[in-house]
Amino acid sequence: MTPDTLVPTGIAGPELLELELAEGAPSLPHAPAPSAQFADRSPAAAPTDRPRDGDPPPDPLQDDLPRGMPGSQGEHLLQCAYGTQDRARRFYTQQVLDRLNPAMIEFIGRMDMAFVATADSRGECDASLRCGPRGFIQVIDDRHLAYPEYRGNGVLASLGNISENPHVGILLVDFVTDLIGLHVNGRARIIEDIDLRLTYPELPDDFERGRTPERWVVVEVEEAYIHCRKHIPRMVPVVRNRPWGTDDTKRKGGDYFNAKAEPRPWVIPEDADRADQPVASQL
């Protein structure tokens, strides 16, 4: 049995399984050759093809796309290089919104986890998982949503990035029922819990397990669009007892990846030894 004939496992309904199996093995279509103007816009050629002053090449679709059409300049360049302009235009015009519509709002209201991508001012990226009870992400209106930030490991990686660069990307995926995803991209700002409640008193105040947000990330929606179900696996929730609120290292995962003893350039052995000692003994 070859990989392209393997029957998917899981508990997806027969209609969805039929849809997933109908396409058969993937094929590699012969894309039309790019126009001469963009023939050298391959990823390998792009960096050396830029003007000497460091400015990026002009957006090839700036005259063809209506003002405000989604997509970065890099997207448009590669669409021309790889001959996908028509498919991309169809997606932009049929699936991408600059706000949340009622179906998206309903979807967000039943999600219990989200993947949040941020980057600092230099473009260094971070992706993080946020979880909570169904509806832990609050939709304020069709152009704003907010998710809570609780006490964590103290690093504040996502919030630190947002403080330098407000652009965020959020991916919500229904792995259980509909096997579909929703992207929400926008500009974020950090607001303390008490301050957001003054302007948005509808925020919940009965939190699961007594966890109270320290602050919220409010995102102004710039793009919202579907993530197709083709490769989303079906998952089944299971009941699990969890030690919520613990600071016990072992219960939180311990040194699962054996990272503690590994050398790193920002720590000298003496500092690592002191880090394991109680704070009082270091004074």
User: In this predicted model, which residue has the larger pLDDT, 191 or 204?
Assistant: 191
C-alpha span between 225 and 204 (Å, rounded): 27
| Least confident segment among 31-35, 111-115, 260-264 | 31-35
Tell me how far apart the alpha carbons of residues 48 and 65 are, in angstroms, rounded to a whole number: 27
Please list, in sequence order, all residues whose beta carbon lies within 8 angstroms of the beta carbon of residue 168, skipping any fewer than 6 positions away. Answer: 116, 117, 118, 162, 185, 186, 187, 188, 217, 219
Quick: pLDDT tens for 171-183: 999 999 999 999 9
| pLDDT number for residue 91 | 93
CB 169: neighbour CB atoms within 10 A? 17
Give start-end residues of each CATH 2.30.110.10 domain in the chain: 102-227
Please tell me the predicted confidence (pLDDT) of residue 121: 95
Q: 102-227 has which fold?
A: Pnp Oxidase; Chain A (2.30.110)
pLDDT of residue 237: 81
Q: Which amino acid is at 40?
A: D
What single-letter amino acid sits at 86? D
Confidence of residue 264 (pLDDT cuts 50, 70, 90): confident
Tell me, rounded to whole angstroms, the distance of Cα 114 from its chain centroid.
7
Residue whose C-alpha is closest to residue 172's, from 218, 105, 220, 118: 105
Residue 98 pLDDT > 50, yes or no? yes
What's the mean pLDDT when you consider all of the chain?
A: 77
At 252, is the pLDDT very low, low, confident or very high (cuts 50, 70, 90)? Answer: low
